[in-house]
Chains A and B, each alone.
Chain A
Amino acid sequence: MNPIKKTWNWIDERSGYSDYVLPLLKHIVPRDARWWYVFGSATLTAFLVQVLTGICLAMVYVPGGDEAYESLKYITDQAFMGNLLRGMHFYGASAMVMLTVMHMCQVYLHATYKYPRELNWMSGVVLMMVVFGMAFSGQLLRWDDNGVWSVMVAAEMAARAPVVGPWISDFIFGGAVVGGATLTRFFVFHVFIMPAIIFAGIGLHMVFLLRHGVSEMPNPEQPVDPETYKEEYEARLEKTGVPFWPDAMWRDVVFSTFVVAGIVLCAAFLGPPALSTPPDPSNIHSNPMPDWYFWWYFTVLSVLPSSMETWIILGAPVFGFLAVLLVPFISNKGQRAPSKRPWAVGLIVFGATSFVVLTIYGYYKPWSPDFGVDPLPESVIGVSSGPVFEGGQLVHKKGCLYCHHIDGYGGHRGPVLSDIGQKLTREDITIRIMNGGYNMPSFAGSISSEDLSHIVDFLLSRHPTNEKTNE
């Protein structure tokens, strides 16, 4: 026997590779799933990218109040490959969040959570929540002003919980305010605690997977009956199944290749997100925004009626988590095929549509005063002197344009005023400005009667474009 083979036999006999590992790799799986089942393994691949790039970044990153920002600047601008690694960690996070959700949607759509795979689903839901926790704490470790205000928002949300709220907030801050003890907490969550939970959770998820086998594609002819499912599944698999490695796994490998290539290419060509200003909690010129995958929630928090707000802030994460977690207990038998489960398909479509719409709104932030609006040019005002002109200047100076839109200028918080002159009378406009109205501040205390009359003159001159030219 040649020495290499001899050595291998020695290792194999002692380690049990052929007895324990090989059967796992080659366990029999259904042959019909094809490309549907690649999302779970791709999530795992993205996690590996995160672990490897994260370890590298942690060699340089300093989780300290002031130094974190400086070390991030060093990683981004000076360290060899630093920019690429930060980028890979960022796009890897996006990939992991997306793939986790896609994996869950696929499993939900095919009702794979039904008997006997209830715990596969539940361990996956817990893992998904931890992945969200990783995404949030990770964007926070990018310790610039956005990071500081993310902590602030998290603490304010927690503070809404009755009785224990303020304690949780102090726990988040590591004191009564953001300071030197804050970042290290999130560093520990992000680098020790949550990764440990993910490793353990993936292990458990795999144990359940191997125990119950890979599910078949849903078939309307084969509804799940807990009494007979296992026997029938095994009988079918014996007839038509294929070994996981390599007959099924090659597709996972091909898809993961695209995922990792996508991560590396995005990192190389788009680069990591730019650092904004240093983490100074007294800097008011900050414009805090979560990373894109949380914009939908940012929108929810902005457009909620305030009477419901506390309920949603506290209830949505808890009840949302429980509702998803307990899906298998709503129904764990019967049809798996999407064609027989219109509500499930509808829920996925509704969820995806809501996500897209809320994300777009989150990007444009139409509820927020737009601080950077340009003044109205003369071409919009229509005249170059007199009260109407003065009023046209004042709508910028007095901040009307932060919220109101006039002929292509201004924000989107309030109603468009391009043809307000046609809709409201002088009295109506005056009363509205003085008293305010639904979500509009009253300007009675901050505007002189002369300025007011100029603004009203200007607003009364706002008519649809064709009429304006007739004047």
Chain B
Amino acid sequence: MNPESPEDQVSCEDCAARRSFLAKISIALSGVIGAMMTLPGVAFILAPVVKKPKEVWRDIGKPEDFNDEFKLVRYEDPAPLPWAGVTSRSGAWVRMIDNEFTAFSITCRHLGCPVRWVKGPELFMCPCHGGVYYKDGTVAAGPPPEPLHRMQIRVRDGIVEIKTTPVPLTTTPLKAIDV
């Protein structure tokens, strides 16, 4: 480049101020470009976190299908995606004594593995980390900090229905941390 050329001299009369302005505007515009590129995507990705889960009643059979023995029922999630296939299923343990239903989510409250009802000792047992629950869902042994999650059951027009819930998560309230 020829430093003698008139254009160059004109453009460099107040070089420092001009450069600083150009630097600022470039940084600001880069921020705008970044925001335009990422914001819709961030919203797209975080939508499931903000969306409130629907709760619906799902048909799980007739009253005569149930007795005093816990039975595994399978039901479909509230809003299954068309391609979800078997992954849209959830399970619950349900029994009926004197027309009273008891239902527990199969999710262990320790770290979420599927608990099994074991008939002989009348206990729910978890295969992962040794959690054990009594038939009323309370903790009998092992690490679970909370009883099994109870689910709602209703009978309408001779059909037993279960109310779907999100996966029962064992959370830590702030006051528990404060100690």
Seen from chain A, the residues whose Cβ lies within 8 Å of a Cβ on chain B are 64-67, 148-149, 152-153, 155-157, 159-163, 165-167, 169-171, 173-183, 278-288, 298, 301-302, 304, 306, 309-310, 314, 367-369, 371, 396-400, 402, 413, 436, 439-443, 445-446
Residues 42-72 of B at the A interface (beta carbon under 8 Å): 45-46, 48-49, 51, 53, 72
Q: Considering the complex, which residues of chain B in the window 145-179 have a beta carbon less than 8 Å from any beta carbon of chain A?
A: 145, 166-167, 169-174, 176-177
With A65-B86, A179-B80 given, is the CB distance from A282 to B172 under 8 Å?
A: no
CA distance A402 to B121 in the complex (A): 10
Residues of B near A396 (CB, < 8 A) are 120
Instruction: List 3 A-B pairs, minimum CB-CB distance, nearest first.
Output: A66-B85, A180-B81, A282-B91
B135: which of A170, A298, A399, A445 is its contact (CB, 8 Å)? A445
Contact B118 A399 (CB under 8 A): yes
A183 / chain B contacts, CB cutoff of 8 Å: 87
Contact B111 A153 (CB under 8 A): yes
For residue A169, which residues in chain B have a CB less than 8 angstroms away from its CB?
167, 169
**Complex contacts, A398 vs chain B, CB 8 Å:** 120-121
- Residue of B53, B132, B174 near A163 (CB, 8 A) is B174
Q: How many residues of B contact A (CB 8 A)?
A: 60
Q: Are B172 and A176 neighbours in the complex by a CB distance under 8 Å?
A: no
Q: Which residue of B lies closest to A438 (CB)?
A: B141
Find out whether the CB atom of B141 lies under 8 angstroms from the CB atom of A440: yes
Separation of A80 and B174 alpha carbons in the complex (Å)? 54
Contact with A along B124-137 (1 / 0, CB 8 A): 01111110101100
Which of B88, B116, B122, B167 counts the most chain A CB atoms within 10 A?
Answer: B167
Which residues of B lie under 8 Å from residue A163 when comparing CB positions? 174
Given contacts A282-B106, A441-B123, whether A177 and B77 have CB atoms under 8 Å apart is yes
Contact indicator A284/B114 (Cβ below 8 Å): yes
Query: Could you list 14 examples of A-B contacts with CB < 8 Å?
Result: A65-B88, A156-B110, A156-B169, A165-B171, A170-B48, A170-B49, A178-B87, A179-B80, A278-B86, A281-B90, A286-B127, A302-B143, A367-B129, A402-B125
* Apart from A65-B81, A156-B169: 5 A-B pairs, beta carbons within 8 A: A66-B85, A149-B112, A281-B87, A298-B129, A369-B125
